[in-house]
Structure 1
Amino acid sequence: MSTTTELPETTLLRFATAGSVDDGKSTLVGRLLHDSKSILTDQLEAVERASASRGQETPDLALLTDGLRAEREQGITIDVAYRYFATPKRRFILADTPGHVQYTRNMVTGASTAELTVILIDARNGVVEQTRRHAALAALLRVPHVVLAVNKMDLVDYQESVFAAIAEEFTAYALELGVPEITAIPISALAGDNVVDPSANMDWYGGPTFLEHLETVPVAHDLSHCHARLPVQYVIRPQTAEHPDYRGYAGQIAAGSFRVGESVTVLPSGHASRIAGIDLLGKPVDIAWTTQSVTVLLEDDIDISRGDLIVPSKDAPPTTQDVEATVCHVADAPLTVGHRVLLKHGTRTVKAIVKDIPSRLTLDDLSLHPHPGQLVANDIGRVKIRTAEPLPVDSYADSRRTGSFILIDPNDGTTLTAGMVGESFASPEPVKDVAEDDGWDF
């Protein structure tokens, strides 16, 4: 059996871009991919042809991410465009998100799994309303790192005073929201200043380039303070002569680490056992950690099925049927008080009822609208949900993986809402519970 106990350094960074329309997000992404030599020849040739057909003399690097026809025709980003690239120092998953307020749900989708969010600002315009919206969303989603990229510095003559004023205003606002870390970088995505290579036009700036920061920002999980969680996805019973009694519980570790010999509890049943073995890629190991897909064997033969959660016995979350959360509504149809839904948490899906919508957040000024009665597409609000079965939920502040969930339309499977357990802004007093009927009483 392997005795490996050292955890490898994280080599993957997930990051998202956000900003107002025409701030240059797609151009920045295109410049990053181009100057870091992460574009295939045929991709670059396709962009050159598309640019030439529009009468442009130089390649429009924004077309590397704006792939939808509607995006190219309107010159805006609509959908979340994912790009995968790598440098000798790190691998990256990039989500280029829309800037329009009506695509807030797309920005939430792209940033929900990000470890870093890039918020672009046009140096000519400074901090605007949409900048404040995106800072609020980054804080709400608890993105660990935020980069303020002050773009189009070439259009303000590369003035240090312009950059310093914008960085000071944004940093003060973001810190009030609770953004934990902010790094400000002056750039020109169109000209390439401080994107991959240092700018000769801004010798007053002594910090890292945009790519240097992406390559060096720490994103390793601190497993000593991370709640270990393994949602069971599949029960493996091979029934072979070689392994007649094999019973393994397979899934991807959502957080923390597990060791052979560790005492664990299965939720929501509460049955306890001890880890007898861990199989990783068909081989036994002593320890496994976050994002690894493993099969865990237990000393005791207990009833475990898909949707159960294996956790350390000393660190088991409480189970509850009453979930309070902040949500972003992503469906076109509204979410209403009394709405019958399915709630998917990890690998478990249960029936649920929306008992109350205490408030809706107005991103323009971060004010609250009490008891709106419903949430429509792109709305962010507080909800109270009653589930048919108890769920072992963490606070989103403790775990972005096991502290999140989605609400699903039981009729057609449409994703309605993305939720963060326990996340809150000040909310008014709740209204009286709605009646329970239609066979969804619990």
Structure 2
Amino acid sequence: MRGSVVHVGLKNPKLAALAAVAAVVAAGVAAPAAAQAAPATPPFGSTIDGYAAYDGQDTCDPTAKPGVVAFRDLLNATYDTHQSGIGRQCDGGSVSEHHEGRALDYHFNYYNSADRADATDLLNWLLATDSYGNKHAMARRLGIMYIIWNKQIWSSYDASSGWRPYSGASPHTDHIHFSFSWAGAEKRTTWWSANQVAGNASVYGILPDGRLTYSVIDAPTGDRTFGPVISSASLGFTPKAMATMNFNTILVTSTAGKLYRVDVNTNNASLTFEPPVEIDSRGWVHDLLAYDGAGHLFGISDGQLRRYGVTVATHSVTINSNTVIADSGFTLNTLTATGPNWILGTTSDGTLRSYKINGAGDWDGATLDPDGWGFTHLMSPGGGIYYARDASGAMYHYQDVNPYDRNGSDVVYHLDDPVDTGGWTQSLLSTQPDTIS
């Protein structure tokens, strides 16, 4: 399954079903057994939105609203990319939330069994009762005002009537129509507040010529808001792996097996750093490094995973311990840390893997996605946010609702909205840990 922005080796996985949901779709909308997926759902408490009242179109602004765009992206991430439409130019003769950019036509074909199964899966999920007894829970949390599908309409403002016959000009057998309240269209409902993150990712990089770069990515939007700022000086040695320890301190290994501390002085209008300080002169042959922000530095070389206990301060790093976690056979193409004693990486065949590190020779691993993660770099600033760069220099962002559940079904993909479509030319990249909440 792929998003509408397609790159070789970049795949949007088939998300596993999160839970069984009650079948609430009435006769005339019912279809074959639901597909093997449901949209990735964040954890919610019992507090829920009320039913959206009817608020028909009365202005002309067909610009696609953010909640509708994000809902479409969620469907694409779950059911593969389908043709869809949101905004529609005002014609002066009809009333439609499309004219206000707060309606979505999502093209499932009722007469295609696979599409019909996916549509059933989606509608069951939207209209199911949640674990707290809230009826039509996800439709309410998303601010859906009404749904039209296969000559039937369900409306939040008459939810007790269930599905009712619909006799409009279009039978809606080739697409599902969703109209949203203004709160849902503008992402002001509980679905979006549950998915909110806060903070900025500070991303350091090293160019092929040894110069350092600094950029900032806004976590809630996935937009690069600053940089890259590039140093005029170069490191003076050939780097092999790097890990950002804090805002002002980076560790870099060399191809000669040495470990250096790089003290960054400023990264505002310019980026400067002190001459690299050699911490250790031998044995640092790691291909990958990652710091978890909680006193643990991880390194991988020749199939061996090591954990170093470190004490970190501004312009200061002390190595306190060296523990072999995996003695052999531990190979990854990319490496980052997602939290204290949690690491994440991709393999040579594009598998996304998560690991809980317990101690010497003791770790638990899980596959979050079996294929499609053919990236050159992977980074996490915390908060379940992942950044991945591909070979073309494009940077993508993802949100793992629960990065510690060893389950990739709740990873939200933003393939239609990359951080950048190109320009990330660094040979090494690393982000400061634990800056996103």
TM-score, with length taken from structure 2: 0.29
Higher relative contact order (CA 8 A, sep 6+): 2
Structure with the higher helix share, 1 or 2: 1
